Amino acid sequence: MTDTTPTRAEHKLARKMKRFENPWMNPKLLWGAGILIGIIVLGLLGRIFWDPELVFTGSAPLKLPPIGFENLRKQAGIWDFPLGTDGAGRDLLALIIIGAPNSLFVGLLASCVGMGLGIFLGFSAGFIGGRTDDFIRVISDVMITIPPLLILVVFQAAYGDVSLTMMALLIAAFVWQSPTRLIRAQVLSMRESGYVQMARLSGASTMHIMFKEMLPNLVPYLFGSFIANVTTSIVTAVGLEVLGLGPQRIPTLGRTIYEAINSGALIQNLWWWWGIPTLLLAVMFIGLLLINLGLDEVSNPRLRKLS
Amino acid sequence: MSFKKSVLLASALALAATTGIYAQEVAREDTVIFDLDRTIKDPENFNWFTPGTKRLHGAHQAMWEPLFILNYVSGELEPWLGTEFTANATHDVWTLSIRDGVKWSDGEAFNADDVVFTVNMALGNEDLSAREAATIRAQVASVEKVDDLTVTFNLKKPNPRFAVENFGVRIFGSFLIMPEHVWSKQEDPATFAFYPPIGTGPYKYTSGASNRMIWDRDDNYWGASAGFNDLPEPKRLIWLESGGEESRAQLMATNQMDVANTVTLGTFEAIQAQNPSIIAWKDGMPFAWSDPCARQLEFNTTVAPWGDANMRQAINHIINRQQIVNVAYEGTTETSRSIFVQYGGMEKYISAIEGAGMGFSSKADVAAGQALIEAAGYVKGADGIYEKDGQDLVANVTVNTASTELTRAVDVILEQLQRAGIDAKPVPVENGVFWGTALPLGEYELAYTWLSCGSINEPWASMGRYTAKDVAPIGERAPGFNNTGRWNTEATAAYSAIVDKMGGLGVGDPAIQGMVLDAYKYYRDEVPFLPIVQASKLLPYNTNYWTGWPTQANNYNHPAHWWGHMHQVLHNLKKAN
């Protein structure tokens, strides 16, 4: 008879395993989500506790440093504008409160629209097959070779001022290809699995099989792809904004950086003007990366570590 | 040789060739590097009569010399290639005397034939659209050679300012004389590229690319042998596209550039803190030189609703000029009180205009502006923007992106309009588009410009730019950038009648003062454009390699280094020790 009493080490291991019973309680995922929610909350609460009107030109003194610092003219930061002001008299704190959620919004919206398109086209291609598959595959393969920034720069330079939503939709037109290909590949392999065959035999409609039977199995992949798309969309949006394109009056982090560069903020040592938005973008990307890593672990249990 | 090797060799050669242009057979301390604020679209085209960057990349500062140069400080017309320009009693026949001994850089003599040929070419060719050529066409009836050094101009009507207006670098450039022996061989002067170019000046074209132009000293320059002036000290001049305020500042701070275009006050202070050899026009606040081209908001009166004078007046009320000075210009300039540049010589006209209650306020009266908009049938929508018939009140302001000064000023204006309920948006365009098509062809709604520029010490030059005779249909070039807003109402007619009459009177005629007020009233009632602020040019000059730059203390002339009077400055430069 063997001794079944667990050792201390096994106890510890079991506790850890228990903590991971729910794969969604993944620390990376939680941290990442926490960071993004923090940015959204900053946007929501900020609008209540801080004056959003301060994001507009000429609403504050020029070039004040953050609290505890001095600018080249030996002016110290003041509590009215705790993160300092830029060269056109805009409050940096207000810019962040309004600008950071805007950047996130563009990413989320572009990604949602792009994913929606991708899911629909990917399933159609993979499941229906034949001509439909050829058509969708060729289109997405062609589109994937076109650098989005190139087209967007030309488009926005030609049309000038666009709204945030418009910019998001434009970006969405370039982020549906990868999910389409990813989902098509998954659907192709799933199409022949037993439960799909069974559903087909019992006379379920194509739509039912695609979206009721198969889609739930793809959720972790979809999430992963979605987050990757959000990152791509934000990078694209910021890229456009840093070039001075995109919305003109609506504050975004990218546009703030563009204005800083354009107004000689580096040589004037106005580091807060470009530094704070850059830092915030970095934090945002770290948040997205953590979510992505977390989701990987959720969808692929082998990646979950025990320590 | 393997493919890889040949590629390597080819790229090494290409690299050597490109760096070769800079290869210092001329030392840095013998070179002056100027800032260029735009890309040279066609670096192998020197036909200055046609649109494009053909002059301010060194061509008219170093290679082509003007006949005269207006001294902004003394107000005198200083002789250069010309020695004298005199009018008859009625100011409709002008006689030009040319300096003896002037030579083109290829050795041909510069004489009356060149002048007569160039003027006739401009007279006979509408496609030569440069402002200076258009002005000559509008004013000159015929031109005759008297002898090799004398030319007579017969004008269409009396013009007491003919010499300074056309040949004196009064604003930016002057009508430049071209070599007859080169141009006369061309069939169509409008398509002739004039490459490689020649001139009479002390520098010859060496090489050019879209981002730079290089000129080397011509040691056979006529001025030295004719005893007119010495050879300038710099052996090489480079105009280099700096690409924006940040890189401009870095180049100045590290002595890689000697003259920069205008920067903001903060940037100037930062450059000076890093490099004490940087100077500007004034050696203290506000450092800047106010150029004679005051900034204004131009309306295209053919675009609704800006054809309505009341809507334009509404914008006038809404604009807070003092805030523009404080935010966009950081206090380095002052608000415009009238359409005129605020120079001493113009003060009596400006005070008279203000005395008659026709000045412009430095502060805003938003309520008065909004009342005018509401009177025009607009109602404020839920989003705070005025609407009429379901359409938002939109103001698209075209802005030239060549300079941070312009985009910053427009940002403040847009903000003020937005806050008052007008959906104001910027239309940023590149320098070439701004001057090449948007303004002259009337392809804009509102624009931030300086097109009333002209008057320095008398009022006609500016006022004469908004008369009825210059109204061109949309899509056709406004002659000489005059009246680009196509202001063409009954008031324009009445205004033009007085201004045209004024044009025939001599500078300083006592009748002018009263006529200014009479004509100005028509302008002020309809405000086809709004004066905003005086121009402020904070131009950093580097004394590390060169001294003798024009400053307030050493004011032999003004510091606008993209103008044709730079010949004077080049002869004044001394090597720093």
User: What is the pLDDT at residue A129?
Assistant: 84
Nearest to B208 by CA among B240, B162, B170: B240
Tokens of B513: 């003062």
Q: In Å, how far is A287's CA from the nearest CA of chain B?
A: 32
Question: In terms of C-beta density within 10 A (0-12 exposed, 13-18 middle, 19 or more buried), how is residue B163 classed?
Answer: buried
Nearest CA in chain A to B320: A58
| B149-162 pLDDT tens trace | 999 999 999 999 99
Residues of chain B with Cβ-Cβ distance to A264 below 8 Å are: 245-246, 249, 263-264, 266-267, 270, 404
Measured between beta carbons, which residues in chain B are less than 8 angstroms from residue A248? 425-426
ipTM more than 0.95? Answer: no
Superfamily of domain A35-302: MetI-like (1.10.3720.10)
Report the candidate in B108, B501, B540, B253 with the shortest Cα–Cα distance to residue A269.
Answer: B253
Please tell me if residue B269 touches chain A, with a CB cutoff of 8 Å: yes
| Cβ-based neighbour number of residue A216 at 10 Å | 9
Least confident of A241-250, B4-13, B385-394: B4-13
| Burial (0-12, 13-18, 19+ Cβ within 10 Å), B7 | exposed
Please judge whether B407 and A160 are an interchain contact, meaning their C-beta atoms are less than 8 angstroms apart. Answer: no
Assess whether pLDDT exceeds 90 at residue B65.
yes
Residue B231 in contact with residue B241, Cβ under 8 Å? Answer: no
Token digits of residue B434: 């701004």
Min Cα–Cα distance to chain A from B405, Å: 9
Residue contact B327–A57, C-beta within 8 A? yes
Residue A195 or residue B573, greater confidence: B573
Could you give the CA distance from residue B179 to residue B223 in angstroms, rounded to a whole number? 17
Tens place of pLDDT per residue across chain A (307 aa): 455 666 777 777 666 655 556 777 888 899 999 999 999 998 899 989 998 888 888 888 988 999 999 888 888 889 999 999 998 899 999 999 999 888 889 999 999 999 999 989 998 898 888 899 999 999 999 988 888 888 888 887 777 677 889 889 999 998 899 889 988 988 888 888 888 888 888 888 888 888 888 888 888 778 888 888 899 999 999 988 888 888 877 889 999 999 898 888 888 889 999 999 999 999 999 999 999 888 888 777 777 665 4
- Testing the interface with A: which of B35, B242, B246 to mutate, by most A Cβ within 10 A? B246
Q: What is the DSSP string of B271-311?
A: HHHH-TTEE-SSSSTT--B--S--EEEEE-TTSTTTTSHHH
Tell me if B270 and A73 make a contact (CB, 8 A cut-off). Answer: no
Pairing of strands B394-400, B423-429: parallel
State which fold the B68-183 domain adopts: Dipeptide-binding Protein; domain 1 (3.90.76)
Task: Spell out the SS3 assignment of B221-247.
Answer: CHHHHCCCCCCCCCCEEEEEECCCHHH
pLDDT band at B416 (very low <50, low <70, confident <90, very high): very high
What is the Cα gyration radius of chain B?
A: 25
Side chain identity, residue B446: L
418-437 in B: which are within 8 Å (CB) of A? Answer: 418-419, 425-428
Phi and psi at A268, nearest 5°, equal -85, 0
Q: Which tokens hold the place of B472?
A: 């061109």
Pair of tokens at residue B443: 């392809």
Closest CA to B459 of B339, B285, B312, B300: B339
Contacts of A271 in chain B (CB under 8 A): none
DSSP string over B517-558 = HHHHHHHHHH-SEEEEE---B---EETTTEE----STT-SS-
pLDDT at A209: 84
Return the pLDDT at B16.
46
Q: What is the pLDDT of residues B95-153, one digit of tens each?
A: 999 999 999 999 999 999 999 999 999 999 988 988 899 999 999 999 999 999 999 99
Question: Best residue in A248, A267, A273 to probe B by mutation, most B CBs within 10 Å?
Answer: A267
Nearest CB to B264: which of A56, A249, A264? A264
Average pLDDT over residues B559-574: 96
Residues 481-520 of B with CB under 8 A from A: none
Q: What is the pLDDT of residue B152?
A: 97
Q: Which chain A residue's Cα is nearest to B246? A: A264
Give the SS3 label for residue B91.
coil
State the pLDDT confidence band at B39, using cuts at 50, 70 and 90. confident
Contact A268 B266 (CB under 8 A): yes
Give A89→chain B minimum CA distance, Å: 7
Query: For residues B270 and A72, what is the distance between their CA atoms, to the nearest angstrom?
Result: 8
- Alpha helices for B275-422 (secondary structure H): 309-318, 321-327, 347-355, 366-375, 404-420
- From chain A, the residues in CB contact with B245 under 8 A are 262-264
What CA–CA distance (Å, rounded) separates A188 from A194? 13
Interface membership of B274 toward A (CB under 8 Å): yes
- Given a contact cutoff of 8 angstroms between Cβ atoms, the answer to whether B412 and B324 are in contact is yes
From the candidates B242, B383, B415, B434, which should be mutated to test the interface with A, based on the most A CB atoms within 10 A?
A: B415
CATH of B3-61+201-275+557-575, one of 3.30.70.1350, 1.20.210.10, 3.40.190.10, 3.10.20.30: 3.40.190.10
Give contacts of B273 with chain A, Cβ < 8 Å.
Answer: 72
Domain ranges for chain B: 3-61+201-275+557-575, 68-183, 295-533
**How does DSSP assign B38-51, residue by residue?**
S--S-TT---TTSS
Rounded Cα gap, residues B80 and B84, in angstroms:
9
Q: Does B405 touch chain A (CB under 8 A)?
A: no
CA dist., res. B262 & res. B245, Å (int) = 8
Q: Which residues of B touch A63 (CB under 8 A)?
A: 266
- Rounded CA separation B534/B324 (Å): 11
Closest-CA residue in chain A for B415? A57
> How do residues B444-476 score in pLDDT, each as one tens digit?
999 999 999 988 888 999 999 999 999 999 888
Mean pLDDT of the region B384-403: 92
CA dihedral (B532, B538, B539, B541) in degrees, to 10, reads: 170
Residues in B touching A262 (Cβ below 8 Å)? 244-246, 404, 407
Do the Cβ atoms of A263 and B323 come within 8 Å? no
Residue B489 binned pLDDT confidence (cut-offs 50, 70, 90): very high
Please answer yes or no on whether A72 and B323 come within 8 Å at the CB atom: no
Q: What are phi and psi of B136, to 5 degrees?
A: -60, -45
Residue matched to tokens 């810019």: A95
Distance of alpha carbon B335 from alpha carbon B532, whole angstroms: 6
Inter-chain touch A62–B330, beta carbons under 8 Å:
yes
User: Please, what is the end-to-end C-alpha distance for chain A in angstroms?
Assistant: 31
Q: Do B411 and A57 touch (CB under 8 A)?
A: yes
Among B95, B65, B96, CA closest to B179: B65
Q: Counting beta carbons within 10 angstroms of the beta carbon of residue B331, is it exposed (0 to 12), middle (13 to 18) or buried (19 or more)?
A: middle
Is the Cβ pair A57, B407 closer than 8 Å? no
Bridge-partner residues for B181, per DSSP? none
> What pLDDT score does A289 carry?
92
CB pairs under 8 A between A and B: 83
Record: contact A266-B246, CB cut-off 8 A: yes
Amino acid A74: pLDDT: 85
Classify residue B459 as left (phi > 0), alpha (psi -120 to 50) or beta: alpha
Peptide bond into B232 cis (omega under 30): no
Q: Say which CATH superfamily domain B295-533 falls into.
A: Dipeptide-binding Protein; Domain 3 (3.10.105.10)
Distance from CA of B146 to the nearest CA of A (A): 54
Preceding amide of B196 cis, omega within 30: yes
String of DSSP letters for B433-487: HIIIIITTTT--SEEEE-TTTT-SSSSHHHHGGG-GGG---TTSPPGGGTTTT--
Cα–Cα–Cα angle for B69, B70, B74, rounded to 5 degrees? 130
Helix (H, G, I), strand (E, B) or coil at B90: coil
Indicate yes or no: CB of B264 within 8 angstroms of CB of A88: no
Q: What is the C-alpha separation between B209 and B41, in angstroms, rounded?
A: 9
